[in-house]
Amino acid sequence: MPTAVDDIIDSSTGGRRTGKPDGPFTRSNIVGTIVGGYLPLILATLVIALPLIWMVLGSLKTPGEIVTTTPKIFPQDPGLGAYQQVSERISIGRMFLNSTIVTVVGASIKVLLAVTTAYALVFVRFPFKRVIFMGILVALMVPPQVALLPNYVLIAGLGGVDTYWGIILPGLGTAFGTFLLRQHFMSLPKEITEAAEIDGAGHFKRLFRVIVPISGPTIATVALVTIVNEWNDYIWPLIITTQSRMMTLPVGLTLLRNSEGNAGDYPVLMAGAVLVLLPVLIVFAALQRFIVAGLTQGAVK
């Protein structure tokens, strides 16, 4: 049966089959590339990037340049006055320290628990393993907001209000990280762990000297997602903290908003948002090269 390529007939050859496919610069190929490739790419990039660009530019503008009937893209006289006002009105250093402690400690424990849990689900034999994994899959579908009330009752009852452990403890489990690492561990050749077992390595050595070193991109991906979630978490720190000295940066923006009563101070709010986003963007730039490799490992054998 002739293929589509074989059916291409060049009229200049008198109806004989040429066997040549369409070239890359034909009209149909160019239109298809633009409509199916570049156009969605440009639209998606604009939807994601424009609010961030507008926020950064707005933090450098004066209030009159934002609240106006003739908005302009670039500030006429860019300045850092809004950033100075943020540092004067809220304790930005203390909140930055709180966010750093919560993110570093919380993300480290989360990733460690995800690695060890995924290892146990793949390499350790114990009953009800599938039931536990199904429970993890169900947890992926449940929004974390449904657990806010029971978590608050429990943590407040234990005296965790306005404490670091009270902020960190309820979010230590990561269903996404456990699921991703389990799928990656299942794609590893069994001969690797079997050889280590023959050499006398226990589960601890097999995990940290064999499995972890060859799973760097996947673990880095889980770490990056966890760091971003911990840094940007807003609802739970807002509920469990009542004093400004224990608030994280996203919650501190709430104080900033409460102290600003008019739309003319939008540059201050935008400057605060930029300060919250900047550390996450730096971490993302450092680890982004691991994301694609980590997410695609195990997808192709």
What is the pLDDT at residue 301? 47
Tens of pLDDT along the chain (301 residues) come to 444 444 444 554 544 555 555 666 787 788 878 877 788 888 988 888 888 888 888 888 887 787 777 777 888 878 888 888 888 888 888 889 999 999 999 999 999 999 999 999 888 888 888 888 888 888 778 887 888 888 899 999 988 888 999 999 888 878 888 888 888 888 888 888 888 888 888 888 888 888 888 888 888 888 888 988 889 888 899 998 888 888 888 888 877 765 555 666 788 888 888 888 888 888 888 777 776 666 665 555 4
Please give the pLDDT value at position 254.
79
Question: What does the DSSP assignment read for the chain?
Answer: ---TTTT-B-GGGTS-B--PPPPTTSHHHHHHHIIIIIHHHHHHHHHHHHHHHHHHHHHTS-HHHHSSSS--SS-SS--SHHHHHHHHHS-HHHHHHHHHHHHHHHHHHHHHHHHHHHHHHHH---TTHHHHHHHHHHHHHS-GGGGHHHHHHHHHHTT-TTSHHHHHGGG---HHHHHHHHHHHHHS-HHHHHHHHHTT--HHHIIIIIITGGGHHHHHHHHHHHHHHHHH--HHHHHH--SGGG--HHHHHHHHHHH--SGGGHHHHHHHHHHHHHHHHHHHHHHTHHHHHHHHTTT--
pLDDT of residue 5: 46
pTM of this structure: 0.77
Confidence (pLDDT) at 108: 92
